[in-house]
Amino acid sequence: MTESQKLIGTRGCKLLTGTGALTGLKGYAFIAQEDTVLTTFEVDGVDALADFGLTGALKAGAYIVVPSGDAITAITMSSGSVIIYNQ
């Protein structure tokens, strides 16, 4: 995926809601749609919650991007919702 494809979201997106584990994802970024608390955030199958500073509540509109070549592979929320952008 090129950087310009990321800019316009050519591979689509998906709304993630609920409090269950959401696995098998392959995204490059997400936007919190409301105040959101994550309990799991994995990048390339590795826990990255603390590495990305996501241990507290995210405010609505927070935009989180992983480095080029990496992928968000799992998210679990205790509250809130996000839109993830597909690679």
Query: DSSP letters of 12-73?
Result: -EEEE-SSSEEEEEEEEEEEESSSEEEEEEEETTEE-TTTTT-SSEEPTT-EEEPPTT--EE
Mean pLDDT by runs of 10 across the 87 residues of the chain is 58 84 89 96 96 95 94 95 93
What are the residue ranges spanned by the domains of the chain? 3-86
pLDDT for residue 18: 84
pLDDT for residue 3: 60
Contact 30, 64 (CB under 8 A): yes
pLDDT for residue 9: 56
Q: Where does residue 28 rank: exposed (0-12), middle (13-18), buried (19+ CB within 10 A)?
A: buried
CATH architecture of the domain 3-86 equals: Sandwich (2.60)
pLDDT for residue 27: 93
